Amino acid sequence: MNLAARARDWIAQDPDPETRAELEALLGDEAALAERFGAKLEFGTAGLRGELGAGPNRMNRVTVMRAAAGLARVLGPGRHVVIGFDARHNSDVFARDTAAVLTGAGLKASIMPATFPTPLLAFAVRHLDADAGVMVTASHNPPRDNGYKVYWGDGAQIVPPIDAEISAAIDQVGRVDELPLGTEWTTLDRSVLDAYLDAVTAIPIGPEREVRVAYTPMHGVGGSTLLEAFERAGFPAPEVVAAQAEPDPDFSTVSFPNPEEPGAMDLVLELAEAAGADLVIANDPDADRCAVAVPGGRQLTGDEVGALLAEHVLRGTKGDDRLVVTTIVSSSLLGKIASAYGVHYAESLTGFKWIMKANGGRMVFGYEEALGYSVGGDAGLPVHDKDGIGAALAVAGLAAAAKRDGRTLLDLLDDQARRYGLHATAPLSIRVSDISLIAEAMERLRAHPPRELGGREVVRAEDLSAGAGGLPPTDGVRYRLAGDARVVIRPSGTEPKLKAYLEVVVPVTGEVAEARAQAERDLDALRTDLATVLAL
As annotated, the active-site residues are: 139
Q: How far is CA 430 from the centre of its chain?
A: 19
Is residue 479 within 8 Å of residue 458, measured between CB atoms?
Answer: yes
Give the torsion sign (CA, 5, 66, 354, 315): positive
- Spatial distance between the Cα atoms of 97 and 508, rounded to a whole number of angstroms: 57
Q: Which residues contact 307 (CB under 8 A, 6 or more apart)?
A: 331, 333, 334, 337, 413, 416, 423
- Spatial distance between the Cα atoms of 349 and 431, rounded to a whole number of angstroms: 22
Q: Please name the amino acid found at residue 428.
A: L
Facing residues of 368 across strands? 372
Is residue 111 within 8 Å of residue 96, measured between CB atoms?
Answer: yes
Task: Give DSSP secondary structure letters for 449-502.
Answer: --SEETTEEEEEEEEGGG--TTPPP-S-EEEEETTTEEEEEEE-SSSSEEEEEE
Q: Are strands 108-111 and 186-187 parallel, antiparallel or unpaired?
A: parallel
Is residue 353 within 8 Å of residue 158, measured between CB atoms?
Answer: yes
By CB atoms closer than 10 A (0-12, 13-18, 19+), residue 186 is: middle
Q: Which residues contact 434 (CB under 8 A, 6 or more apart)?
A: none
Is residue 236 within 8 Å of residue 207, measured between CB atoms?
Answer: no
Q: Which helix (H) or strand (E) is 327 found in, with range?
A: strand 322-327
Residue (of 405, 429, 425) closest to 415 by Cα position? 405
Is residue 111 within 8 Å of residue 73, measured between CB atoms?
Answer: no
